[in-house]
Chain A
Amino acid sequence: MNKTPEQINKDLLRPIYHATWRFYATAAVLAALVAAALFAWVYQMYYGLGISGLNRPVFWAFYITNFVFWIGISHAGTLISAILRVCNAGWRRPVTRCAEAITVFSLSIAGLFPLIHLGRPWLFFWLIPYPSERGIWPQFRSPLLWDFFAINTYLIGSVTFLLLPSFPDFALIRDRASGWRRKVYGIISLGWRGTPKQWHRLEMAMRIMAVAIIPVAVSVHTIVSWDFAMAPVPGWHSTIFGPYFVAGAIFSGIAALIVAMALLRKLLHLEEYLRPIHFDNLGKLLLVMSLLWFYFVFAERLTTWYGNFPGEMSVFWSTQIGRFSPLFWTMVFCNFLIPAPILAIKSLRNKIGWTVAASIPIIIGMWLERFLIIVPSLSYKYLPYNFGTYWPSWVEIIITIGTFAAMGLLYLIFSRIFPIISIWELKLGMPKKEEAPELAPAEAAAGQPQAG
């Protein structure tokens, strides 16, 4: 890629300055869907959870599925960009920000579901440990409470991780803009002047964050998995769940990232910046995760089957050959049989279309996986007398769709506010980037490395 910094700025800042009618159209559609979901939620609070498809014994279903799924997606960003940052992979530079954005949004969406699925959501704040004259604290032994903390930590962490490297770009916009934009970006760039000291601090902060965020991310999904693993429910009570969920999370995360990147590339005409190489590299990662995921599923099923504990077998068979088997085998196809070959073949992998074609089934498959972890186990829990089944109601379906729409909407808005690719990092990634930190303040303010 041989573009002058000026061109880069122009290309990457274009979306922020002008938007096409397409943009507004999509935004409107997505907004409508989100509104529908919100209505559904209010409706649910009005009448109670009865309007959902939940029942005894299946007390958890779509909502918790979505919760786990979105948490999984959230591992796209931070984790990936952090790892790549730590191992200093150069090709990451254009990818990181979209990845981190995904994290923040999917995480905030995921965070909603525990509230949506409550019987009495208006009392959710009892999860927060605050001293009161009644002397009652939350139950610290409850995985749900661990969730509460883990998610909040991760949210704060990833927001910081997203914002930190944005300041130079905000500053860049500020300096190039006029009118209200100048003001607004002036404020949110928190007085970034690009002094060497600031550059140095930023680099430092980024390194620390990158290292710190990885264990947080891992712990978050481990804890989510413990929501299930801690309960003595057949199919849930398994030590493998921690790593299994983390792997699955990164797996679905990368898939989501690839799809998102492809979309941005098309919509924002970033062909020169998001190049096949990026998709190829992510594709490799995805292949690894796909294999890893398959290994976990296999290991989990095998041990269950071999262990032959009556309580667990009913669940096992229901997913292999029973009522839930169609979903199960669809999942296997989506997560392994379709993507693995595609990604394994280089000539396909480095074609963007193919990597996307491999990623979309994975997203579906991973959603199914969460569903298959939750519902069959509850449907076939120990006492055959109480076996049951589940069918979602329109409310649950609309809310699910709505969250996908919300994701898209947030992302669109994001792309109007943030340069979707971290400009200064990109520039640093270019030849002769080394002296960038030693820029003269004046020029640095514009965030432009000196053209040699």
Chain B
Amino acid sequence: MNRLFEMTTFKGWDRIGFGLMAAGLFAACVSCSSGNRPQEKHPSYATSGQFTVAHPSMQAAARDYFDQYPTHVDQPIAFTHKVHLKNGMQCTDCHKGVADGPDATIPNVQLCMTCHQVIATDKPEIKKVAGYQKNGELIPWQRVYWFYPSVHVKFRHGPHIRAGVDCATCHGDMSQETVAVRKSGLDMGFCVSCHRMRKAPTDCTTCHF
């Protein structure tokens, strides 16, 4: 049977609105947005934090229903991964949590400034960073990779790293990237196909609980 699944990939078929879709969609978002709001994390959802069903808006609900995620997010700082990686930094230097924690963690402005006290202090972007630190604020990074609460997924980076999954598999080759963009939709098909390939468990409760 599994062969069949792999052969037939009608992406997004299930998101074609059958008869009820309009009403359902309406209901989906209004009813959902009536619930408890998620703990605010930019832009609108928490992936490591709490999942709730609350949609901040109709639009978000529609996106959720159709499994659409924005690929490009405008960030407060034009951060370039390319340069940092070229200068011999490792992903884990900034994304500290990735090895042991479930989250990769977005670095604290303090961390940026440990180097940028001295390095490239004249650059306008760096000045902005310094500015944030001076106000005791974090840089309001916008999340690039996140899930809608309704997918009820508990993703942990740790096990994937230990299993030798290369960061690039999901996040693309960052050494060629400037500002991070969502490389893969990270829809369930994406995850499952890889899990099948690597003989990783495909039991629902591996990720959904």
- How many residues on A have C-beta within 8 angstroms of the other chain's C-beta atoms? 21
Q: Tell me which of B20, B24, B31 contacts A48 (CB under 8 A).
A: B31
B130 interface residue per 8 A CB criterion: no
- Bound together, the chains give a CA A132 to CA B188 distance in angstroms of 10
- Bound together, the chains give a CA A246 to CA B34 distance in angstroms of 43
Residues of A within 8 A of B189 (CB): 132-134
**Contact, CB under 8 Å: B27 / A45:** yes
Contact with A along B36-57 (1 / 0, CB 8 A): 0000000000000000000000
B8 interface residue per 8 A CB criterion: yes
Shortest B100–chain A CB gap in Å is 30
**Contact, CB under 8 Å: A45 / B31:** yes
**Contact, CB under 8 Å: A122 / B24:** yes
Shortest B208–chain A CB gap in Å is 12
Residues of B within 8 A of A42 (CB): 23, 26-27
Give residues of chain B (94-121) contacting chain A, Cβ–Cβ below 8 Å. Answer: none
Shortest B3–chain A CB gap in Å is 10
What is the chain B residue whose CB lies nearest that of A131? B8
The stretch from B10-18, B82-90, B137-145, B152-160 touching chain A is B10-18
- Bound together, the chains give a CA A130 to CA B11 distance in angstroms of 11
Residues of B within 8 A of A126 (CB): 14
- Bound together, the chains give a CA A340 to CA B29 distance in angstroms of 53
The SS class assigned to the B binding surface is: helix
Residues of B within 8 A of A122 (CB): 20-21, 23-25, 27-28, 65
B71 interface residue per 8 A CB criterion: no
- Bound together, the chains give a CA A366 to CA B96 distance in angstroms of 67
Take A42-B23, A45-B24, A121-B20 as given contacts and tell me if A133 and B34 are in contact as well, using a CB distance cutoff of 8 Å.
no
**Contact, CB under 8 Å: B2 / A135:** yes
**Contact, CB under 8 Å: A125 / B14:** yes
Shortest B125–chain A CB gap in Å is 40
**Contact, CB under 8 Å: A121 / B2:** no
What is the chain B residue whose CB lies nearest that of A122? B24
**Contact, CB under 8 Å: A46 / B30:** yes
Shortest A51–chain B CB gap in Å is 11
- Bound together, the chains give a CA A136 to CA B206 distance in angstroms of 15
- Bound together, the chains give a CA A46 to CA B11 distance in angstroms of 29
A306 interface residue per 8 A CB criterion: no
What is the chain A residue whose CB lies nearest that of B28? A122
**Contact, CB under 8 Å: B5 / A135:** yes
- How many residues on B have C-beta within 8 angstroms of the other chain's C-beta atoms? 29
Most buried by B among A121, A125, A133: A133
**Contact, CB under 8 Å: A133 / B24:** no
Q: Tell me which of A121, A128, A130, A134 contacts B27 (CB under 8 A).
A: A121
- Bound together, the chains give a CA A123 to CA B31 distance in angstroms of 14
B9 interface residue per 8 A CB criterion: yes
Give residues of chain A (114-163) contacting chain B, Cβ–Cβ below 8 Å. Answer: 115, 120-126, 128, 130-135
**Contact, CB under 8 Å: B10 / A125:** no
**Contact, CB under 8 Å: A47 / B31:** yes
B192 interface residue per 8 A CB criterion: yes
Give residues of chain A (23-56) contacting chain B, Cβ–Cβ below 8 Å. Answer: 41-42, 45-48
**Contact, CB under 8 Å: A46 / B5:** no
Q: Tell me which of B14, B27, B34 contacts A132 (CB under 8 A).
A: B14
Take A122-B21, A124-B18 as given contacts and tell me if A130 and B2 are in contact as well, using a CB distance cutoff of 8 Å.
no
- Bound together, the chains give a CA A45 to CA B61 distance in angstroms of 14
- Bound together, the chains give a CA A125 to CA B21 distance in angstroms of 9
Residues of A within 8 A of B4 (CB): 131
B68 interface residue per 8 A CB criterion: no
Take A134-B189, A135-B2 as given contacts and tell me if A46 and B31 are in contact as well, using a CB distance cutoff of 8 Å.
yes
- Bound together, the chains give a CA A162 to CA B3 distance in angstroms of 42
Residues of A within 8 A of B187 (CB): 133
What is the chain A residue whose CB lies nearest that of B202? A135
Q: List 14 A-B contacts (CB under 8 A).
A: A46-B26, A115-B20, A122-B28, A123-B24, A124-B20, A130-B10, A130-B13, A132-B5, A133-B9, A133-B11, A133-B187, A134-B5, A134-B189, A135-B6
Give 6 A-B pairs besides A122-B27, A132-B5 with Cβ atoms closer than 8 angstroms. Answer: A46-B30, A46-B31, A120-B28, A122-B20, A131-B4, A133-B5
Chain A residues with CB under 8 Å of chain B are 41-42, 45-48, 115, 120-126, 128, 130-135
Closest 10 CB pairs of A and B: A122-B24, A133-B189, A45-B27, A135-B5, A131-B8, A133-B9, A134-B188, A125-B18, A122-B28, A46-B30
